[in-house]
Amino acid sequence: MRPFQLLSAVAVFISLKTVEAAGYWACDGVVIPNDNALSAARSAFGFAAGFYHGYPSIVRTTPPQEGLGELRLFPVSLTNESWSGGAVDYYVMTNQDRSYIKVYSNVGLGTMCGYYET
């Protein structure tokens, strides 16, 4: 690969990584940047189940979700800092390759949050 081709390939890769994080989750008026949800999704499989303040937890569904593999929950932080214990108001449910990511709220009645592109 020639140097100018490599530079173009790197630029495309960086653009793709930026697109992955575009958007946000809205939970009853609370906005959660998608970066925060993706960070939590990575943490869901970055720790052994229950290792970090009781998380990640494994989700058991009946019937099992076909083709998703194991699903795990991990708390989502509203700040740029990773969750470090304490109350869990929002959490992500994800599979290992993060092809399935949903954010849920524990506040009030508890709801699934909506995802919006920016």
Cα–Cα dist 51/41, whole Å? 15
Is 91 a member of any domain? yes
pLDDT of residue 21: 52
Q: What is the pLDDT along the chain (118 residues), one digit of tens a residue?
A: 454 444 444 444 444 444 455 799 999 899 999 999 999 999 999 999 999 999 999 998 777 778 888 999 999 999 888 888 888 999 999 999 999 999 999 987 789 999 999 8
Number of domain units in the chain = 1
DSSP string across 20-39: HH--EEEETTEEEEHHHHHH
CATH of the domain at 56: 3.10.450.30
The pLDDT score that the predictor gives to residue 19 is: 47
Domain-embedded: residue 6: no
In a domain, 70, yes or no: yes
Residue range(s) defining the domain that contains residue 94? 23-116
pLDDT of residue 82: 82
